[in-house]
Amino acid sequence: MNCPNCKSVLEACGEVAMEGRKLLVYQCEACIRPWKVGQETFDTCLTFAVDEDGQMFDPETLEPLSLN
């Protein structure tokens, strides 16, 4: 799998369940994104899950991944 942002080659680092399916989870340490927890914002690695059709999802919310 390639990072959707920087195109680095990534290995799966875990999996998440979605509607009875298991999706592989990937993390790109080169692409840092803000993550808001309560009133604080932290820098985190870009993390995403991919289904069998290649659709990317946020593994925390299971919403389609948006890089905007």
Cβ-contact 46, 31 below 8 angstroms = yes
Burial (Cβ within 10 Å: 0-12, 13-18, ≥19) of residue 36: exposed
At residue 51, the pLDDT reads 92
State which residues form the domain around 19: 1-68
Q: Rounded CA gap, 20 and 53, in Å?
A: 15
Pairing status of strand 40-50 against strand 21-37: antiparallel
Number of domains observed in the structure of the chain:
1
List pLDDT tens digits, range 12-66: 999 999 889 999 999 999 999 988 888 999 999 999 999 999 999 998 888 999 8
